[in-house]
Structure 1
Amino acid sequence: MPPGPPYLPSTAQSGLKPTPLPDDPVSAVLLALFVGSATLHMAIFQLNRRRSHRFFFSALLFGFSMARITALTMRIVFAHNPTNVSIGIAAGVFTAAGVLLLFLVNLMFAQRMVRAYLPEVGWKKGVRWGFRGVYVSVGAALVMVVTVSVHMFYTDDVDVRRRERDVQLVAGTYLAALAFAPIPVVLGARWWAGRRAGNGGLVREKFGKGSFRAKMGLLLTTAVLLSLGAGFRAGIAFAPRPLTNPAWYHGRGPYYFFNFGIELVVVYMYGLARFDRRFHVPNGSKGPGDYAKGLRLSVNKEEDVFGPADEDEGVNVDREEVADKADGDDTSGHIGDDSGIASAELEERYAYAQRQSEALDLTKKSSGENV
């Protein structure tokens, strides 16, 4: 009788079939680096939480790092149990699923940038629900990819496998588009805001710490890297090769680089650049003007700096925040107590926030919209 499911794939798989050498040492090094990223993001999350500020994006990147640790562990186990197809399936599922968390983080940051550049547009109900629909679609794509990827190992029906491969191609292409989406969204918002401002200067709602140039640079760089990885995976799906004749792009080098290598750069960039400070938004932001009104005239305790404990997002008060008028940036990245800020700096920040709010009100009145 022919062997039953799960069946071995008939086409070459990305990364090929792992073996103790060279996969064990490579996977072990990558695993250790992801342990470091998990530790970094959980430390940031816990330190912020103690200051009554819960920046949940740090928890998301901790979860992503744990998913990558699991995937690499499964690959090492599979290298020592090559006949256990179920372990290989598990490794593939964790590899495919984890990166979607990074896509979600970038999309949410892109939404915040749109609201800062174009508050009267970014806060519209249609735009808000559009972003929410995209977030839901990421989950739906994940379910489709995981379902068909697993089921393909449990059926030998050629017609069913062909339809499931079509689902993989559509989902992979869609996810690659989502990885790229923050780039045109943010650049488009920046261009539109500048065009509308004309000679009067760019009006935008300041949020978080550091300059808009630094925020945009961080977001666009990570989006380019994630797009490169997603595009590579989608391209492999469109160019299958027989199991006995894999192409260069199925090799271990491209597999480790375009999956784990790129993602390591992204998670460490976010952690070391202190994205938990750069992408703060005021608690309870619900409409235009709320980002700019996040500045406080007096700061006496940690809750005033980081926001109350019952919210997921922080208040954009920080020692070097005002320098954005000159397009400056802060690279200190320390975790410390920001109380005791000089009153002159606070008054300058407050006046700047007031000017932003007044400019925003004038923009809304001229466009016929209510605040």
Structure 2
Amino acid sequence: MTPAEAALAARPAMFGDYPVRKHDIAGSVVCIVCFLVLAVVNMTMLRRNLARGHKFIPSGAMFGLCMARIITFSMRLAYTTHPTNINISIAANIFLAAGVVILFILNILFSQRVFTSRHPSLAYVGSLFYTVMRAFYISVIVFLIVLIVTTGVYYHTNHTVQQGISQFRKVAMVYFVVSAFLPIPIVAAAYWIPRSEKDETWPVHYAHWIERYSGLYSPDPRRKPSAAEFYAEIPQGETRRPVHVIPPPERGARQVSVALILIAAVILTFATAVRTASSFVVVSLLEKPWYDYRVTMYLCIALAELLVEIMWIVGRVDLKFYIPDNKWDKSASSTDSDKDGVMDLEVDGETEVELDGARRAGDAGALEKQL
């Protein structure tokens, strides 16, 4: 065995391989530019929607992923130019693991909204399904923290502790594979479970003022209903809490919405499974498997996430998976604040009674001017 081969045999293979100037500088710069462009697009969409009263927080999360990946590949660049700096290596691996979790959570959230729209009687706020999903989101965050902490201390402990930490990391990675795949069974259950009579009659509310779900369309804020108009859509005497849902199938957006979820789930599951495989097989660089090559890392991390983000942007998830704000979620049957037959509901900090009085005062003032 030559000295070079002996050196390779002494170093363990790792996902993404060890960075080298010849390949990683160019690859990292390209990835930084691509994610920077998507960050600008996501922030532009978020600000434009907010200006029109269309609050879609996942756009901000998608922007956050882009910023995390810019940091990831900036750390990769720094690691390339300082290969012996262990702290830069740790930071690069932490950001490499952390970013994609945002896409897992968003895709699960989108699938949850599909299930809720199909079965509002099973997924209303406070239901078992709703509670389980909230617990699952929390568990993903917990496993992410575990992965970050274990990655940070892995290189600063002895061999025995490293073996224990390695087991925690494997469990976390498997959990992420499950998280990436979970939207598929959720969507399947949404259509496999037959809709009950409760699902058909449960009071639901969707953004019916959105006219289109593609292209460069932006919602018209003037078409949003007031609180009084919102409650006018609910049958009199209804005591069940209304469920905010995504558009129904007849609006022509549901089929594309499901496709966006399923395609993203397949891409993310494959990419995460490949990365997880590298944590279960520890070999030397001489026996390096295909999933530890540098090109695999760029395909499974950068390309996969770019494809999902671009698909979601072009597919206008900000319209297809938008649900109305919950600021109107007060009991429609409450009569404590009824005055003269008008329900006292808040609308942007004022009440319907106050607004009604203001309108009457305005009408009176206009009449006096005419006289």
With normalisation by structure 1, the TM-score equals: 0.70
* 1:64-95 per-position Cα deviation (integer Å, ceiling 9, x unaligned): 00000000011011111111121111111111
Alpha-carbon shift at residue 193 of structure 1 (Å): 3.0
Structure 1: segments with no counterpart, 5+ residues: 1-8, 291-307, 311-371
Percent sequence identity over aligned pairs: 29
Question: Partner of 1:236 in structure 2?
Answer: 278
| Amino acid corresponding to residue 224 of structure 1 in structure 2 | V
> Which one of the candidate residues 281, 284, 287 is aligned to 2:323?
281
* 1:271-292 per-position Cα deviation (integer Å, ceiling 9, x unaligned): 11111011111222899xx9xx
* 1:100-123 per-position Cα deviation (integer Å, ceiling 9, x unaligned): 111111111111111101110111
| Amino acid corresponding to residue 38 of structure 1 in structure 2 | A
Counterparts in 2 of 1:196-235, with a 5 A limit?
A: 207-208=246-247, 210-235=252-277
Question: Partner of 1:97 in structure 2?
Answer: 98
Distance 2:167 2:79 in 1: 27
* 1:180-222 per-position Cα deviation (integer Å, ceiling 9, x unaligned): 001001111111136x58xx9xxx9862474211110111111
| 3-state DSSP of counterpart to 1:193 | coil
Distance 2:80 2:11 in 1: 19
Structure 2: segments with no counterpart, 5+ residues: 1-9, 207-245, 333-346, 350-371
| 3-state DSSP of counterpart to 2:276 | helix
Question: Partner of 2:87 in structure 1?
Answer: 86
Distance 1:87 1:309 in 2: 48
Whichever of the two has the greater Rg, that structure is 2
Work out whether 1:57 is the aligned partner of 2:58.
yes
> Which consecutive segments of 4 or more residues in structure 1 shift more than 4 A?
none
Question: Partner of 2:34 in structure 1?
Answer: 33
> Which one of the candidate residues 249, 261, 269 is aligned to 2:303?
261
- CA pair 28-210 structure 1, distance change in 2 beyond 3 A: farther
Alpha-carbon shift at residue 149 of structure 1 (Å): 1.2
Alpha-carbon shift at residue 229 of structure 1 (Å): 1.0
- CA pair 281-22 structure 1, distance change in 2 beyond 3 A: same
Q: Is the 8 A contact 1:54 1:309 kept in 2?
A: no
Counterparts in 2 of 1:119-130, with a 5 A limit?
A: 119-123=120-124, 125-130=127-132
Q: Is the 8 A contact 1:60 1:101 kept in 2?
A: yes
Question: Partner of 1:148 in structure 2?
Answer: 150
Counterparts in 2 of 1:350-361, with a 5 A limit?
A: none
Alpha-carbon shift at residue 10 of structure 1 (Å): 5.3
Distance 1:67 1:274 in 2: 22
- CA pair 256-309 structure 1, distance change in 2 beyond 3 A: farther
With normalisation by structure 2, the TM-score equals: 0.70
Q: Is the 8 A contact 1:15 1:254 kept in 2?
A: yes
Question: Partner of 2:174 in structure 1?
Answer: 173
Distance 2:297 2:259 in 1: 27
Distance 2:86 2:171 in 1: 25
Work out whether 1:252 is the aligned partner of 2:294.
yes
* 1:127-167 per-position Cα deviation (integer Å, ceiling 9, x unaligned): 11111100100110011111111111101x22211111110
| 3-state DSSP of counterpart to 2:16 | coil
Question: Partner of 2:233 in structure 1?
Answer: none
Alpha-carbon shift at residue 173 of structure 1 (Å): 0.4
Count of residues in correspondence between the two structures: 277
Question: Partner of 1:133 in structure 2?
Answer: 135
| Amino acid corresponding to residue 231 of structure 1 in structure 2 | A
Q: Is the 8 A contact 1:11 1:240 kept in 2?
A: yes
Q: Is the 8 A contact 1:49 1:309 kept in 2?
A: no
Give the root-mean-square deviation of aligned CA atoms. Answer: 2.4
Distance 2:193 2:205 in 1: 15
Q: Is the 8 A contact 1:210 1:278 kept in 2?
A: no
